[in-house]
Amino acid sequence: MMLAERHTRQALERLREQTREAGRHVRSEETHERERRLAGEARQRVLDDLASHLQKLEQSATANGARVHRAETAQEANRIIIALMRERGAFEALRNRAPLLDEIALDEAAAVNRIALTRVHPGDFLVALSETTPQHPIWPAIHLRLADVSETMQARLRVPATFDVHILDSHVRSRTRAAFFSAKTAILGLQFAVAESGALVCLDNDGHNANLMAQAEHLICVMSIEQVVTSSADLHILIKAYAFGAWAAPMPAYTAQILGPTRMEGRGPDIDLVIVDNNRTRALAEGFEEALRCIQCGACHTACPVFRQIAISGYSPDPRRVPPYSGPIGAVLNPLLLRPGVASEQPFLSTDCGACNKACPVDIDLTGLLQRQRVRLAPNISRERTLLWLWRRMLKRPRLFTRFLRAIAHLR
Ligand code: SF4
């Protein structure tokens, strides 16, 4: 585990204070308890009968004119996305900010297939420009100081040196806006998809999703199986939950929704919907259903005292290969969704203080899940420890070590 840089830790502490203060003005404790119970129930309604809600979504999205594809794995999801782009001869696309696109490693797949992918979320844009890693699911550029941003923009975009936030911001926005007008394909990681109407929904506080939906000729929407929502009524509850968790706000600044070409009298973009499983069915079978209630709002990250010290980089020794999810929920999800053995130490990075439980707007018992994940992963950890112990003992006995190497060579 590695501490985040001092200014990142300070920024995360400030974010904690600001969201706590703003949250007090939006909800009383009593209201928060009531709202999160309602939101938790809305998520549970879907998980109770996931297969039939997904089937319903498939039918309504198809009736709206979208093409629906199912992907068992991250690799399959990327194969489908790349094939959809090839079908149209497209070699560039815009993408929004969505953890699922990081989970399937879309950027890497695009690079291998020579597809230019541009991130249009302003924070993501800056992170890509500075060649660093997003440090928070909602505030990806929280680790960048004004001086860093100014220097990078001066070097990479030839923007005159300035510490004026508004000038720097307008330069970023003029670049991302230009991208909106030029790209024909957009890849959108969705927040929710409504089973009863087939509405595909993205939430943000800068409008980049609405711009993508309005400008692109072809939308490739990507969602994981649990992101389906039963009805518009549940969607309303969950939009409020997301806004409160992400920005301590009563509602998001932008809610972008799109139905499909049939419902828009042929005026909208062509839509492909890719529904990804990637080990979620297995996680459900293993009894981790509650983890799939998560709406990726980032509230547990900001509330977690460990995360505020280590940020995302602390979850990986290699800053170029950070796991897609972080914070308390990441410590539960990563070992379930990624390759066995990857991220298996993460559930142990917790003090069990329960701050995440109180912050979660969909009422997830994160400490309970973390404890179960530790029990589940303990055999792996003790096996690794035993192997390490044997290895150390062998290194102290050169003759035994030589014999071991010979045996390996012989077996090869
Ligand atoms: S687990 Fe964390 S990220 Fe997920 S909904 Fe709860 S607070 Fe938000």
Q: What is the pLDDT along the chain (412 residues), one digit of tens a residue?
A: 678 889 999 999 999 999 999 999 999 999 999 999 999 999 999 999 999 999 999 999 999 999 999 999 999 999 999 999 999 999 999 999 999 999 999 999 999 999 999 999 999 999 999 998 888 999 999 999 999 999 999 999 999 999 999 999 999 999 888 888 887 999 999 999 999 999 999 999 999 999 999 999 999 999 999 999 999 999 999 999 999 999 999 999 999 999 988 777 767 899 999 999 999 999 999 999 999 999 999 999 999 999 999 888 777 666 667 788 989 999 999 999 988 777 888 888 888 999 999 999 999 999 999 999 999 888 665 555 666 667 777 777 777 777 777 777 777 6
* pLDDT reported for residue 384: 58
Write the CA distances from 127 to 93, 130, 172, integer angstroms.
18, 5, 12
The residue to mutate among 35, 226, 292, 296, having the most atoms of ligand 1 within 8 angstroms of its beta carbon, is 296
* pLDDT reported for residue 403: 77
Structure tokens at 254: 């932008």
For ligand 1, atom 2: residue with the closest CA: 300
Reduce the DSSP state of residue 201 to 3 states and report it. strand
* pLDDT reported for residue 387: 64
* pLDDT reported for residue 402: 77
Distance of CA 153 to the CA centre of its chain: 26
Structure tokens at 288: 């981790």
The whole-angstrom separation of Cα 412 and Cα 395 is 21
Helices in 183-289 by DSSP H: which ranges? 208-215, 232-247, 280-285
Which residue's entry shows tokens 């890497």? 108
* pLDDT reported for residue 142: 94
Which ligand 1 atom is at minimum distance from the Cα of 303? 7
Q: What is the pTM of this model?
A: 0.89
The whole-angstrom separation of Cα 363 and Cα 374 is 21
Contact residues of ligand 1, CB 6 A cut-off: 245, 294-300, 329, 359-360, 362, 364, 366
The residue to mutate among 32, 191, 244, 364, having the most atoms of ligand 1 within 8 angstroms of its beta carbon, is 364
For ligand 1, atom 7: residue with the closest CA: 360
Domains and CATH numbers, the chain: 1-27+288-412 (1.10.1060), 28-283 (3.40.50.10420)
* pLDDT reported for residue 105: 94
Ligand 1 geometric centre to CA of 7 (Å) = 24
DSSP β-bridge partners for residue 93: 117
Ligand 1 geometric centre to CA of 224 (Å) = 16
Give the alpha-carbon dihedral of 296, 249, 205, 127, to 10 degrees. -60
Structure tokens at 278: 């990637």
Write the CA distances from 212 to 91, 221, 251, 268, integer angstroms.
17, 11, 20, 12
The whole-angstrom separation of Cα 106 and Cα 280 is 18
Order of strands, edge to edge, in the sheet holding 228-229?
Answer: 228-229, 192-194, 200-204, 254-258
* pLDDT reported for residue 320: 64
* pLDDT reported for residue 386: 62
